[in-house]
Amino acid sequence: MDEPFGPEYLRPAQPECPRCSCCTAPLCARGQHSLTGCSAHADGPARELVSSCPCSAETTKRTAAWRQAQIRVTKLAREKPLLPPVEDLLRALAEDPMAPDPHSLFDGLVALGLATRVHDLPAITPLGRRYLTARDEPRFPTPVEVQSVDESTRTAQVLVGAWDEGKTVTVLLDQLISATCLAASELPGKFMEAHANCRAESADDVVLTEITIAPAPEAGMAPDGGDGS
């Protein structure tokens, strides 16, 4: 018997994400581990809808975009800090949302993600506070040992010797690959050198920069720097 309209095939419905109203759960599961968020994994018509998904935003702790933002703003603070009048305004906003802005510098802070408006009032963002912390906190050279990598989440677990030799820190896998030019499969067990805020209170607060592969021990030298005898 002929079916004039043919059989109708529908893609099985995906469960909705319990944390947002714009995405499915599988989409957010991928988006939170992507530097470009959920929109990079959505079909064309849906990209605009999910472009502001909080599950993958840089303002949401432990997303890939959030980790990348911590690195970016730390490098900004240490390598190319704001001009003094702009930084002075940011510090003032950290104490008082009504701080004067006689030179109209606020919009520049907004463009960098360091400030925003809340109920029409100027406000410093968590990223702005991260910038100020990075400006003030000391950073130290430290050995780093890669414990494991997870290519599905694009993260790696590392030990940061000068912070805590017993607690692992989650870092972006692509940060290590870019810094060392090694493949993900080559990273576990590798020793590196980096700079870190070694007085950070938690593993989430530790930010690595200036990552390099640790030099191999000289011939006849033990790994701990002794003569091997």
* Digitized pLDDT (tens) for each residue of the chain, 229 residues in all: 455 555 554 455 678 898 888 888 888 888 888 888 888 777 777 777 787 898 888 999 999 999 999 999 999 999 999 999 999 999 999 999 999 999 999 999 999 999 999 999 999 999 999 999 999 999 999 999 999 999 999 999 999 999 999 999 999 999 999 999 999 999 999 999 999 999 999 999 999 999 999 987 655 444 454 444 4
All domains in the chain, ordered by first residue: 25-57 (no CATH), 66-136 (no CATH), 140-213 (2.40.50)
Query: What is this structure's pTM?
Result: 0.85
Phi then psi for 144, rounded to 5 degrees?
-135, 130
The closest of 119, 122, 120, 128 to 104, measured between CA atoms, is 122
Half-sphere exposure of 33 (CA within 13 A, CB side): 14
* pLDDT on residue 68: 97
The pLDDT score that the predictor gives to residue 7 is 52
Spell out the residues 6+ positions from residue 126 whose beta carbon is closer than 8 angstroms to its own: 59
List the structure tokens of 167.
């607690």
| Predicted local distance difference test score (pLDDT) of residue 19 | 87
* Predicted local confidence at residue 218, as pLDDT: 57
- Range 89-113 burial, b when 16+ CB lie within 10 A, else e: bbbbbbeeeebeeeeebbebbeebb
Q: Supply the pLDDT for residue 44.
A: 73
